[in-house]
Structure 1
Amino acid sequence: MILGFIVGIIVISLGGGGGAIYLGLLASVFKIAPISAAATSLVTSLPSVMIGSWGYYRQKKINFRLGNQMLFSAVPAVVLGALLAPYIPATIYRWVLGLILVVLGLRIVLQKNGQSAPKKHTLLIASMYGVLSGLMVGIAGMSGGGPVLAGLLILGLDTFQAVATSSYVLVGLSVIGAAMHISGGQVDWQLGLPLMIGAAAGALVAPLLVKRISMSSHSGNMKWVMAILLVLMGINTIR
């Protein structure tokens, strides 16, 4: 429960669902089977992304135009990813996913301040990031927050809006992903419920924390933190 609270604050503050972090905790710390860890991670992250998204909605920071475009593109990709998962070698998937996350992180770092994608291609680019995120959810049981957040930053949203919109998109993805995995009966509820309760409590705190940071002189540093985390996630996925 304590771990869930800490992770809930961190991932909702950074616009993620925390699927990759929960996946790592469940597989490496609690030593449960990978297929059960994937299912449990998605179910665990669902309440926290819902609570975090509601907090951002109340602050009117969600960009529904881009968020809905990503979500509508991601939903079919979740289903497709779940169907393809049994046929994709784990090694190939790890390398492809890891390299994508590293490239996205570097893209954020190298992007000039104020630069964004051409407006006429905005919805198309948003759809591409949505599809990539959906495949992450369907194939690996991750939350898919990395590509969503990176895409929103690259499309020109400020850090606060990107975090808020990412949380909104992940609500839809987590619902679908969790439903598919629950139906398979692979969720470890003994570990999942305490993590879920802790994460939900952390998600209540996160939007208020992000608001305070965005009003401070350190708001620009959040973009660098997100970029570095994406690169580290990518490297860790490949290992």
Structure 2
Amino acid sequence: MTIFYILIGFIIGGLVIAMGGGGAAYYLGIMTAVAGIAPASAATTSLYTALPSLIIGAYSHYRTGNMRIHYANQLLITAVPATVVGSLISPYIPSSLYTWLIFIIFLILGIQVLMRAFKKKAPTEKINKKEAYVYGTVSGLMVGVAGLSGGGAFVAGLLLMGLTMPEAAATSSYALIVTSIVGLLMHITEQGNIAWKVGTLMLVGAIVGAWLMPHFLARFDKEKLTKVMSPIMGVLMIFMGTYMLLAFYHIL
């Protein structure tokens, strides 16, 4: 199983960093379904696994010149407080309410990304701060309440704010480092143990994948890559929201 966990980490680390995510939800699924780790420990371990690859991936993205730090900083203004608040209120939020909220948010963001993918928008350096605050809040709550990385909301928001897919992925990876650190600290404080063996094996693979993928993406034209990956991101958002809802009601 050692090679299996390293390989899974490599695949998740590479593909997720390409889409601007952190991968915590995927690591969480593997740890609970395959490794048999308790949910509370798996949530903490998934953030531990995702964080180093995020740092490596963000550095690789930075070297490609795609990172827009000023966009990420605007998102973090609300994302960090939302992560803390989400962690504190999570015990009092019914699972059904949270699931429906995530479904609605992902559905709206996914549709907006799909619509924007087929419209031409001139690049701009002017940031819509209200949009940034909304997307930052949504992502922070996802990290705090459920232990997810929140990358989907970050990337969708950045795409809707006018960034190309490579820029959105790079910028999201930077913002996710901050929210993942906050989320990990909150989860360690509240839920405790990390499954070190499984987490570290997947971490090693994820680091390699996260290091290689940004360099691979840099070989492609930004606009062409955005035309291909933006619709995929939109469909993925809708799929993830729908999957969470159906899984909650045991339809899947």
TM-score range, shorter chain: over 0.9
The one-letter code matched in structure 2 to 1:235 is T
Q: 1:71 aligns with which of 65, 76, 81?
A: 76
Measured on the aligned residues, the alpha-carbon RMSD in Å equals 2.0
Structure 2 unaligned spans of 5+: 1-5, 247-252
Shift of 1:119: 8.4
Question: Matched residue pairs, number?
Answer: 239
Shift of 1:186: 2.8
**Relative to 1, partners in 2 of residues 1:117 and 1:103: Cα closer, same or farther, differing over 3 Å?**
farther
Tell me what 1:178 maps to.
184
Tell me what 1:167 maps to.
173
Structure 1 unaligned spans of 5+: none
Which stretch shows the higher mean deviation, 133-142 or 190-199? Answer: 190-199
- Contact 1:52/1:207, CA 8 A, preserved across alignment: yes
State how 1:199-210 maps to structure 2 within 5 Å: 199-210=206-217
Secondary structure of the structure 1 residue equivalent to 2:218: helix
- Encode CA deviations 1:11-44: one digit per residue, 9 max, x unaligned: 0011000111112222222232222221111111
- Contact 1:116/1:154, CA 8 A, preserved across alignment: no
Which stretch shows the higher mean deviation, 7-16 or 28-37? Answer: 28-37
Q: 1:227 aligns with which of 215, 218, 234?
A: 234
State how 1:86-105 maps to structure 2 within 5 Å: 86-105=91-110
Tell me what 2:220 maps to.
213
Q: Hey, what's the Cα distance between the residues in 2 that align with 1:84 and 1:75?
A: 15
Tell me what 1:9 maps to.
14
Q: Hey, what's the Cα distance between the residues in 2 that align with 1:213 and 1:110?
A: 23
- Contact 2:83/2:141, CA 8 A, preserved across alignment: yes
The one-letter code matched in structure 2 to 1:44 is T
Secondary structure of the structure 2 residue equivalent to 1:142: coil
Tell me what 1:109 maps to.
114
Q: Hey, what's the Cα distance between the residues in 2 that align with 1:233 and 1:23?
A: 14
Percent sequence identity is 41
Q: 1:37 aligns with which of 31, 36, 42?
A: 42
1:195 equivalent in alignment to 2:190: no
TM-score (norm 2): 0.89
- Contact 1:117/1:155, CA 8 A, preserved across alignment: no
Tell me what 1:158 maps to.
164
Shift of 1:231: 1.3
Secondary structure of the structure 2 residue equivalent to 1:147: helix
Q: Hey, what's the Cα distance between the residues in 1 that align with 2:148 and 2:77?
A: 18
Q: Hey, what's the Cα distance between the residues in 1 that align with 2:29 and 2:216?
A: 25
Q: Hey, what's the Cα distance between the residues in 1 that align with 2:209 and 2:127?
A: 36
Q: Hey, what's the Cα distance between the residues in 1 that align with 2:237 and 2:164?
A: 17
Q: 2:28 aligns with which of 12, 15, 23?
A: 23
The one-letter code matched in structure 2 to 1:152 is L
- Contact 1:80/1:138, CA 8 A, preserved across alignment: yes
Shift of 1:115: 3.5
Shift of 1:121: 7.0
Q: Hey, what's the Cα distance between the residues in 2 that align with 1:69 and 1:90?
A: 29
Q: Hey, what's the Cα distance between the residues in 2 that align with 1:31 and 1:224?
A: 34
The 4+ residue runs of structure 1 with deviation greater than 4 A are 116-121, 215-219
TM-score (norm 1): 0.93
1:58 equivalent in alignment to 2:63: yes
Q: Hey, what's the Cα distance between the residues in 1 that align with 2:55 and 2:198?
A: 20
**Relative to 1, partners in 2 of residues 1:221 and 1:186: Cα closer, same or farther, differing over 3 Å?**
same
- Contact 1:104/1:150, CA 8 A, preserved across alignment: yes
